[in-house]
Copies of this chain bind each other. A is one copy, B any other.
Amino acid sequence: MHFTVIARVLGILLMLFSLTMVPPMLVSMWYDDQATQAFAMALLIIFGIGFVSWLPVRRVRHDLRTRDGFLITVLFWLVLSLTGSFPLMLADNPGLSFTDAFFESLSGWTTTGATVITGIDELPKSILWYRQQLQWLGGMGIIVLAVAILPMLGIGGMQLFRAETPGPIKDSKLTPRIAETAKALWNIYLMLTIACAVSYWIAGMDAFDAIAHSFATVAIGGFSTYDASIGHFDSAAIEMIAVIFMLISALNFGLHFFAWHNKAQALVHYVRDSELKFFFFIIAGGIVLTVPALYLTGTYGWQESLRFGIFEVVSVATTTGFGTADFSVWPIFLPVLLFMMAFIGGCAGSTGGGMKAIRVLLIHKQGVREIRRLIHPNAIIPVKLGNAPVSERVLEAVWGFFALYVITYMVMMLALLATGLDHVTAFSAVGACLNNLGPGLGDVAAHYGDISDAAKWILSLTMLLGRLEIFTLLVLISPAFWRS
């Protein structure tokens, strides 16, 4: 481990992050909302920590290796969530406790969108901006993680994408190519954000809301500047724009990258992607089940069933977590169905959470193969994606991921039950956090403000496990990692 280099990297990261206090500070000054000082102080403190971490090791140079990648990735999210909590504590409103501020900040950085704050409508504009911006920055982080770093580390079968997607690094060093890849991805991310913000603005949001919600949309974050979320605007046009951009953001950014650089072949490339097809198949299936169920149970009329049904399915299945209707009180199986869709989640290489469509597709294919093998015990039946067979190594990694996901889910649920939460709340809170979805059912349907501090810390860990695809964290607590 090259701790000195890690300290240098994190130091630079914190100094850069401190500069992101400037936009909310300007917002605060513009609206004169009394939070300017909090952001100024946060800027100084975070810059200071970064500077102190960087200064003594600023001349150290080492090639970083895979192993350092695990540690940097985890520290990246931890350190940013920790320091990102400062403004939320320093500002008089909301003036959160450390636990609440850390939860909120981590929820932003992991693009989960679970909130502990109840009176969102009464927050200073600058704090509202800051929360949205955290998600947007978290989305930037996750794209690079998902497209470039996880495939390189080989987490949960994501090495599958090493050969397939353009840009990612193919050797085992953290070379400058990550910087190139990151820049290219961020360009796309920025363009998507601008397109989304402009669309929202044209559809009737004011500039502030348009930008703020575009941040949370492309990041699949789900934070809003209103307690009523997207439902506040009560506009079918805005909802349709949100649906489109949530879907685009839930696709593999490697695909967007390719399409951007090969515009002639762009459509063909999208259409041929197995994961994309499976993802849209799942979304369509969810809508086909949900909309008639809403109508037949008399929950809404036809028009509203269609409008609310499509929006909530896309919002939950992509793990965004925006709300226009409270799906947690929808009848019979609908809340649980939507919740299960969040377990599938977005595509790999997107800002979405969940297990990722590609993994669920591979699990499905393996299940079908097992049945065929029972009928033809001696046949050799490869699992294919498109026309290419998937290596057994990748399949095993996917299985390992799936098993760990289920086990993590159960352990965290037991831990939450031990803090005294009821079954439905515990069941859904773990799912909402592990899948980086946000809203749950029961006591956490609207917000996470009423649960105990212990539960908040358990759920913080759960959000981080989900965002870092479990293995990245688990590797760090394995003795073998530190030994050799």
Binding site for B on A (CB under 8 A): 66-67, 70, 153-155, 172, 332-333, 336-337, 340, 363-364, 366-367, 369-377, 392, 395-397, 399-404, 406-407, 410, 413-415, 417-418, 420, 423-424, 427, 471, 474-475, 478, 480-481, 484
B400, A366: Cβ atoms under 8 Å?
A: yes
Q: Which residues of B contact A367 (CB under 8 A)?
A: 400, 403-404, 407
In the complex, chain B residues whose CB is within 8 Å of the CB of A374: 70, 153-155, 471, 475
Which one of A336, A366, A415 has the highest number of Cβ atoms from chain B below 10 Å of its Cβ?
A: A336
Considering the chains assembled together, what is the distance between the CA atoms of A388 and B131 in angstroms? 54
Supposing A370-B397, A392-B392 touch, asked if A336 and B413 sit within 8 A by C-beta, the answer is yes
Identity of the chain B residue whose Cβ is nearest the Cβ of A481 in the assembled complex: B375
**Does A332 contact B396, Cβ atoms closer than 8 Å?**
no
With contacts A374-B154, A475-B374 taken as known, whether A400 is within 8 angstroms of B369 at the C-beta atoms is yes
In contact, B333 and A418 (Cβ under 8 angstroms): yes
Contact B371 A417 (CB under 8 A): no
Inter-subunit contact B332/A417 (CB<8 Å): yes
* Chain B residue with the shortest CB-CB distance to A399: B399
A332-B417, A396-B366, A410-B340 known; A475 and B154 CB under 8 Å? no
Q: What chain B residues lie within 8 Å of A66 (beta carbons)?
A: 377
Which residue of B333, B370, B427, B475 is within 8 Å of A371 (Cβ)? B475
Please tell me if the beta carbons of A332 and B423 are within 8 angstroms of each other in the complex. Answer: no
Pick 6 A–B contacts, CB within 8 A, sort by A: A154-B377, A172-B377, A367-B403, A372-B480, A373-B397, A376-B484
A461 to chain B, nearest CB (A): 17
* Residues of B close to A481: CB separation below 8 A: 375
- B471 close to A414 (CB less than 8 A): no
Which residues on the B side are within 8 Å of A420 (C-beta)?
A: 332
B370 near A400 with CB under 8 A, answer yes
Tell me whether B427 and A423 are in contact (CB under 8 A).
yes
Can you list the 5 inter-chain pairs with the closest CB atoms, starting with the nearest? Answer: A370-B400, A333-B417, A399-B399, A333-B414, A333-B418
What distance in Å separates the Cβ of A276 from its nearest Cβ neighbour in chain B?
A: 22
Give Cα A475–Cα B375 distance, bound, in whole angstroms: 7
Do B404 and A406 touch (CB < 8 A)? no
Q: Is the CB of B402 within 8 A of A403?
A: yes
Looking at A332, A374, A376, the one whose CB has the most chain B CB atoms below 10 A away is: A374
Residues of B within 8 A of A372 (CB): 478, 480
Which residues from chain B contact A70 at a C-beta distance below 8 Å? Answer: 374
A44 to chain B, nearest CB (A): 39
Which partner residue on chain B sits nearest A369 by CB separation? B400
* Contact residues in B for A413 (Cβ distance below 8 Å): 336
Question: Among A172, A367, A471, which residue has the most Cβ atoms of chain B within 10 A?
Answer: A367
Q: Find out whether the CB atom of B370 lies under 8 angstroms from the CB atom of A396.
A: yes
Residue in B400, B403, B410, B427 whose CB lies within 8 Å of A427: B427
B-chain residues with CB within 8 Å of residue A404 when the two chains form the complex: 367, 370
Instruction: Give Cα A484 to B372, complex, Å.
Output: 12
A69 to chain B, nearest CB (A): 10
User: Which residues of B have CB within 8 Å of A396?
Assistant: 366, 369-370, 392, 395
Q: Name which residue of chain B comes closest to A293, CB basis.
A: B418
Q: How far is the CB of A7 from chain B (nearest CB, A)?
A: 22
Q: How far is the CA of A66 from the CA of B373 in the complex (A)?
A: 12
A336 near B417 with CB under 8 A, answer yes
Q: Judging by beta carbons under 8 Å apart, are B423 and A375 in contact?
A: no
- CA separation between A392 and B395, bound complex, in Å? 11
16 other A-B residue contacts (CB within 8 Å) besides A333-B414, A369-B400, A373-B397:
A66-B377, A67-B375, A154-B373, A332-B417, A333-B415, A333-B417, A340-B414, A367-B400, A369-B396, A370-B401, A371-B480, A372-B478, A372-B480, A376-B480, A423-B423, A427-B427
Question: Considering only CB atoms, which chain B residue lies closest to A442 in the complex?
Answer: B423
Residues of B within 8 A of A370 (CB): 396-397, 400-401, 404, 471
The answer to whether B474 touches A332 (Cβ under 8 A) is: no
B478 pairs with A375, CB closer than 8 A: yes
A399: which B residues are within 8 A, CB to CB?
366, 399, 402-403
Residue from B373, B418, B424, B478 within 8 A of A423 (CB atoms): B424
- A423 surroundings in chain B (CB, below 8 A): 336, 423-424, 427
Residues of B within 8 A of A401 (CB): 370
A410 contacts which chain B residues (CB < 8 A)? Answer: 340
A480–B397 touching, CB < 8 Å? no
